[in-house]
Structure 1
Amino acid sequence: MRKPGVTLGPEPLPDLPALHGIRLRVLGELTRRARPLDTATLTSRLGGHPNTIRGHLEVLTEAGLASRDPLPTSGRGRPALGYAVTPAGRTAYRMCRAGGPVGAADVAEALVEFLAGRPDGAAQAREFGRHWGAGLVTAAGPGRAGVEGTAAPTEEPTVDRVVATLERMGFSPEVNDPAAHAAVDTAAEIRLVTCPLLQAARQHPAVVCGIHHGLVEGLAADQQPSPRHVTLLPFAAPGSCVLTISA
């Protein structure tokens, strides 16, 4: 029977501190041992100063990657503290050894490969992008789409919202003729100087660029009195793709 207040399922992986050098070696030593280790034992095995080892242990403990408990003792006096790896710590160590976690880029590339192998992959990619963009608008609340900060009391201009979202996603958008855009938010030409999925985009442009095209369509779809028209020209200019938003 489920207890009140108990959340089913796993916990999220905690925010990881910098894991390299001696700190990663400390975490690795804890991972390889079945029993808790104290500072003296870790120092003798890894070298260095006890205070340095203790400092790294404190960081690992605060991050939820190690646990700390008094070791059993048969004599008097304060028992030494023993440190053991937690499940999250074991996962973090193995991720570091493997070159890092499977992140959003890995999932995105897997999705691209899947869609590229389907006869209607390009159309599905664009539809997926629209759904994604619309979801960002809905999740962020009125006038915002994936932009950190408090919700705006009034509707955010379409181009401003698109630019802010693309910037956060890693596209380095540059608005051509920003003075004209500032005067009237009805149209804008935007250069996308970088791409977070460039290698995949070169291999499968219809899919990757289709997702990004649909993404912007989704971001602009709820604008009144009428939605904006979005055009994306992949690899259209030296050093950029060209995105156009018009009334």
Structure 2
Amino acid sequence: MPETQLHGPKPGGAEPVAPMSKARAAVLERLRSSDGTINVEELAVATGQHSNTVREHLEALVANGFATRTTSVSTGRGRPAWRYAPAIAETSPRGYAALAAALAAQIAATSEKPAAAGELAGRRWAHALQDTPAISTHSATVDRAFRARVAAELAEAGFGIQGNAAATDFTLTTCPILGAARENPEVVCAVHLGLVKGLMEGSGMAEDDVELVPFAGPGACTLHLPSVPAT
């Protein structure tokens, strides 16, 4: 899977981690589809991977904030086995997430420039979401109003978002199509970047200064919006 960095981190920001391998993503997806907690052996059978390999994936998922672990009830001698559960989940219905994954895979397989195609799709998504006219007056009041509107649109689209209207950096804590993002980050993260750029059209903000850092922290991405230039 190719490395993905969209308008990479601003100076002093956190470095994005490499996108998850398909083998590790398979463990995470199986973890999310299970009812309750699940142990290493059960995941090894479900994914067709060796238990030692699955254990390494699970430890990495826990370390990066994508999974949690608890000890199982002891039934005799020896150390109780670890049982695992997902730390975060997708916010979209399963069918919608599967469709998003299929579309992202199609773009990745057929487009000469998958990231550019994804960004264009994101802009079209933004145009479909917007039902209010673009904001074009440059002022601190309008700046806050615009940021609040972007945050509200992202939340309505299924993102978990932290940051107030005066913030420059927002934390995206959940993703409506997280599984698709892990399978084809070059496409899906570009869609999300295009969504933000589409929402900010007419704001006076410089689009080239928008930064989306995938997986900048445990279980979250970082979105940086530039300030509206002073008049």
Q: Which has the larger radius of gyration?
A: 1
Q: TM-score, normalised by structure 1?
A: 0.46
TM-score normalised by structure 2 residue count: 0.49
- Higher RCO (CA-CA < 8 Å; seq separation 6+): 2
